[in-house]
Amino acid sequence: SFLPGAIVRVKLLHFVTYDAVEFRPGPYLNMVIGPNGTGKSTVVCAIALGLGWKPAVLGRAKDVAAYVKQGYDDGSIEIELKGPKGKSNLIIKRFISKRDNKSDWQLNGKKSTQKDVTAKVAELNIQIENLCSFLPQDKVADFARMAPPELLKETQRAAGEERLSEWHAKLIELGKGDRELSESLDKEKSEMQNLQERNDVLQRDVRRYEERRKIEDAIENLKVAIPFAKYAEIKARYDECKKDRDARKKELLELRKEQEPTETILEELTDYKEKIELRRKAVEKSIEKDVRALTKRQESIDVLVSEGKMSDTTEKLDTVKRRELERTRHMKTLQDSIRDLQAGLGDESPRQETAALDRSLREVKEKIRTITRDNREKQTAMEEIANDCRSLHRQKTEITQKLTELDNVKGRRLKILEQADNQAFRGVMWLRENQGMFQEKVYEPVMLELSINDTRRAAAVESCINWQSMRTFVCQTRADYDLFTRELVDKQKLRLNVVEQEGGKTLSQHNRPCSQEKLEELGFQAFVIDLIDGPEPVLNYLCSSAYLHTIPVAADERGVNAEAVEESRLFKRFIVGQTNHTISYSNYGNRSAQTLSRGLKDARTFNVSVNVQEKRQLDERMQDFADKLKSNEKDQGKLQKELQVNQKKLDELEARKLEEERVEVQGARNRWEKAKVALDTKRVSLKREQEKPSSAVERQKLKETVVELVRKHASVTQEVKAYITQQVKLRAQHESLILQGLQHDGKVAAVRALLKAQAASHKDAERALEHGASLCDDHVRQPRASLCHWGPRGIRQCSACVCSAACSHLAHCFQMDRSVQELEDELIANKAQLNLVSGVSAGVIETYNKRKKLIDALEKKVNEKETEKARSEAALKKYKDRWLSALTELVSAVSEKFSQAFERIGCSGEVRISENADFDLWGIDILVKFRDTEALQLLTGQRQSGGERSLSTILYLMSLTELSRSPFSLVDEINQGMDQRAERAVHDQMVEVTCKDTASQYFLITPKLLPNLRFHERMKVLIINNGEWLPETFNCECRR
């Protein structure tokens, strides 16, 4: 029947009046009785301090060390609370050290912090600081003196709806904002009205200023209109000149048009002359070609005549025998020549052996070899670079695998965090996605950021960092802390531990207890902070919270003298091997030291750690590899470009080499072909000699040959005759074309003379046109000069444009239809009127305009704030309706129970809501009446007697009990000053209220007990006996 959060067991050691005590209260009313001084209020103190509250809530000693029993250096409180449904009970233990006025905490046997304990207690809705739920003896008077606003807040927390306090806080906030907005709005409205009134005073001056400006504008317009009126007169003369100029221009165009046929004839004659010249050149080429053919035919005749010159037939017949001999010798000679030629020719055509070609080819080949060799070197270098790149990529892959293995360590720790604290794990996941939202880097929980240099020391390091610190996020700035907590704690409702380092000590400012030499002299190697690596802000947090820079560590007991360490008084804690030593020093006498030793637990978080130095070295090597790869790629690109240039040169040299070899081969082949032709000729000659017929046949052959020669001579002669005839015709045609060309030259000269005469006429017309244009320019400059007299504005208005359309537009704007005299008269009248209107300072107008802008800006701000105020009032009304409805229901219920309780004792009581314009000043008024002759009066710390205040207080608290959301309530000696009648009535009502099935746990501390009181079977009476400690065996029996 215990509600979650109810006290199941309390155990005290060396606490105030107790050496040792353990008791178990019941789930309903617990009456704790005992003589004064036996330790009743000590139980109250133990409950408050044991659940994490500060001594201030008790109204007694301010230091927690004062609650340790005299004669002891430390004490402890152990409280077991009923756990939520389906969960085990929560055991909270507080160790109090009188020596340093500090406390150590445990939750369910594990080391913890006061913050964690407070959080757990808050989850169970235990409200020790609320006087409506927990009223120590020394705070009874404070309850009556409690201001109505404070009483309202505490009542809401103790018995109201869960969101009642939240709504009230929101109303206070909105109300404050609404008041500030109203004040600001009233201020700005007042300022705007003041500015408007001041501007209204200047309104007349502004109107007078605008009237003067209107007259000045009219004068300026007239000053521009008068030159335009004068300009109209000049424009008429300009139009006449322009008309004359246009006529001359037309005349010049007509002359040029008349000249066009002549120019066309000249172009036609020139084209025809060019055609004649082309035909003449074609005829000349034909003549030259026929001459060359004729010469060739003449040479053929000469050859025929020379070859056809026959020897005397008789002479030939006489010499037949001689010719036969000569033929034999000739055949012998031919055979020798054929043999020699065959030996020289071979099967293929020989190459040309020329020094120049060889030299050129050698140079080309040498360049080719040089470039090829350079290419091979570059290709070798590129292969070496490629091999180096492959090696670098291979090493880079190995390092990436090692880095992945190192990162897996952090992943395993993250898995541990997810299993142990899912909310912190969710915070890490959110932070990794939103790190960019923060000004500086926000560090993940300490357990993820740290790395142990030597995993053998993991247990030592882990023993110095509690779980609360392990799961702590570290922010470097207050702004980042506010943003982080707002996003995760406020919005996502995650229960996270977050710290910020801004404004605190830096890591270097945490001074170590001694130097390294002194540390080694005592047998230690390092401090705990030296065994870990991590970001500086994280290490700084650990120095601030866990004092890791003050805890020395030794690998084993060799060299460590515990007595010397105690005498040095440098350390309160040190670690040797697998043992943790805690030193405490007495505050009395010789201040002797006492060392408590306990073994270290195995590391669970840091048993696998990242070697930060190795990771840093791997990261540096990865960067080196990246730089080398980049450099190699750059060198490879450079070599590739050089190879391309070399290849281009090589292609050019190869082409040149092939060309020269082609020339060489062609020359050698020509010579080989000539030699082969000679050989073939020799062979033909030899065959011819061998096939020659006999002398008779030869004679007959000679005759036939002569006949053939004669025939050929006649044929060639006929061809020569035809060529000569053709030559005569071509030369006659050539002479005719020359004559035609001379005739056309005469015609062209005549046409050019005619064009020259026409050009002279054009010049006269152009000069006349220029004269007309000059007159027009003079007439344009006259109106410009007259406008210049009226200053830059006149020039801007007239521009430099004198075109008809533009002038008509400006004339319409400036009343050019009126005479110059009328415009000048109007100008004089306006000047006179201007003198009658007094001038207004430009500063006045500037002030007016500036103030007008301020008024407009203020009006805009006022409108915006009125809109904002309407929204604020709407939100205020929405929250007020919710809050007031729930509050009225709560106060009505409390008032009804309070009134009924007072009626039972023959008195009157009422609880009311005290309203105020400021929601922060709303309160609860407790009205009481103890005499029939009195009216209801407000309960205060001065008006009623002590007994009346106590009675009113306990009845109010009892009225809240049935509505309370707290798992237990406590009142200490509330019945002091009551008469027996009232005390008995209060006792009966308390038993009735706190022993119901639905009642929560209740503690009543009292030093006295009236006879014949009403008791209930659900009540538990705890009697405090003052005396020595009973034997253990007896104690056990009592427990049974």
pLDDT in tens, 486-515: 999 999 999 999 999 888 888 888 999 999
- Say if residue 382's pLDDT is above 60: yes
**Which tens digit of pLDDT belongs to each residue from 614-627?**
666 766 777 777 77
Whole-Å CA distances, 405 to 411, 609, 826, 921: 10, 11, 99, 62
Residues contacting 642, CB < 8 A, separation 6+: 378
- pLDDT value at 284 more than 90: no
In order of 29, 905, 951, 959, 987, the CA distances from 978 in angstroms are 20, 12, 7, 18, 11
Q: Which of 581, 462, 457 is nearest to 526 (CA)?
A: 457
What is the pLDDT confidence band of residue 1038, given thresholds at 50, 70 and 90? Answer: very low
**What's phi and psi for 556, nearest 5 deg?**
-150, 180
Q: What is the pLDDT of residue 180?
A: 84
Pairing of strands 29-33, 1020-1023: parallel
Per the DSSP assignment, residues forming a β-bridge with 926 are: 911
- For the residues 37-49, what does the mean pLDDT come to? 88
Q: Domain residue spans in the chain?
A: 1-126+1010-1040, 451-608
| Neighbouring-strand partners of residue 928 | 909, 937
- Judge whether residue 464 has pLDDT over 70: yes
Residue 579 three-state SS? strand
| Coil/strand/helix, residue 882 | helix
Residue 982: its pLDDT value, please? 78
Instruction: Tell me the C-alpha distance between 956 and 959, whole Å.
Output: 5
Backbone angles phi, psi at 18, to 5 degrees: -100, 135
The predicted pLDDT at position 325 comes to 67
Long-range Cβ pairs for the range 325-333 (8 Å, 24+): 327/689, 327/692, 330/689, 331/686, 331/689, 331/690
Cβ neighbours of 365 (radius 10 Å): 12
pLDDT above 90 for 429:
yes
Asked if 30 contacts 1022 with a C-beta cutoff of 8 angstroms, the reply is yes
Contact 984, 1013 (CB under 8 A): yes
Percent of the chain with pLDDT over 90: 16
Q: Long-range CB contacts (< 8 A, 24+ apart) of 385-391?
A: 385/632, 385/635, 385/636, 385/639, 386/636, 388/628, 388/632, 389/629, 389/632, 389/633, 389/636
User: CB of 428 within 8 A of CB of 465?
Assistant: no
Q: What is the mean pLDDT of residues 985-995?
A: 85
Which of 608, 601, 600, 602 has its CA nearest to residue 413? 608
- Which position has the higher pLDDT, 999 or 427? 427
Q: Identify the CA nearest to 468 among candidates 121, 124, 115.
A: 115
| pLDDT tier for residue 973 given thresholds of 50, 70 and 90 | confident
Report the b/e string of 199-210 with b at 16+ CB within 10 A: beebeebbeebe
User: What's the sign of the alpha-carbon dihedral 113, 119, 122, 127?
Assistant: positive
pLDDT band (50, 70, 90) for residue 451: confident
- Taking only the tens place, the pLDDT of each residue in 96-127 is 999 898 999 999 999 999 999 999 998 888 88
Residue 475 and residue 498 in contact, taking contact as beta carbons nearer than 8 Å: yes
pLDDT, mean of residues 1014-1027: 86
Query: In this predicted structure, what is the pLDDT of residue 664?
Result: 58
Note whether 558 and 575 are within 8 A (CB): no
Q: How confident is the model at residue 795 (pLDDT cuts 50, 70, 90)?
A: very low
Euclidean distance between CA atoms 643 and 645, whole angstroms: 5
Closest CA to 69 of 46, 89, 85, 52: 46
How confident is the model over 753-765, as a mean pLDDT? 68
Distances (CA, A) of 817 to 226, 801, 809: 11, 19, 12
Average pLDDT over residues 863-891: 85
Interval 585-589 mean pLDDT: 68
| pLDDT score at 10 | 95
**Mean confidence (pLDDT) of the chain:** 77
Please write the tens of the pLDDT for every residue from 625-652.
Answer: 777 777 877 877 787 777 777 777 766 7
β-pairing, 7-15 with 74-81? antiparallel
| DSSP letter assigned to residue 974 | T
48 in Cβ contact with 58 (< 8 Å):
yes
pLDDT of residue 30 exceeding 70: yes
pLDDT of residue 891: 86
Residues 655-676, mean pLDDT to the nearest whole number: 62
Average the pLDDT over each of 190-194, 388-392, 527-531 and give the range with the smallest value. Answer: 388-392
Distance CA 1023, CA 34 (A): 6
The structure tokens listed for 949 are 């205040």
Determine the number of helices (DSSP H) and then strands (DSSP E) in the chain.
25, 23
Give the alpha-carbon dihedral of 328, 330, 334, 335, to 10 degrees.
Answer: 30
Tell me the backbone φ, ψ of residue 303, rounded to 5 degrees: -65, -45
| pLDDT of 851 above 90 | no
The identity of residue 488, as a single letter, is L
The pLDDT of residue 844 is above 80: no
Question: Could you give the CA distance from residue 733 to residue 712 in angstroms, rounded to a whole number?
Answer: 32
* Architecture, CATH, for domain 1-126+1010-1040: 3-Layer(aba) Sandwich (3.40)
Where does the pLDDT of residue 877 fall: very low under 50, low under 70, confident under 90, or very high at 90 and above?
Answer: confident
pLDDT > 70: percent of the chain: 74
Question: What is the pLDDT, as a whole number, of residue 440?
Answer: 93
Question: What is the model's pLDDT at position 536?
Answer: 92
The whole-number average pLDDT for the span 377-389 is: 76
In this predicted model, what pLDDT tens digit does every residue of 741-752 receive, in sequence order? 777 677 777 767
Sheet with strand 18-23: strands edge to edge:
18-23, 7-15, 74-81, 90-97, 102-107, 110-112
Position 1039 scores a pLDDT of 41
The more confident residue out of 897 and 359 is 897
The answer to whether residues 226 and 899 touch, using CB atoms and an 8 Å cutoff, is no
Residue 319 banded pLDDT, cuts 50, 70, 90: low
- Residue 428: the pLDDT is 94
Binned at pLDDT 50, 70 and 90, residue 317 comes out as: very low
Q: Quickly state the pLDDT bin for 807 (edges 50, 70, 90).
A: very low
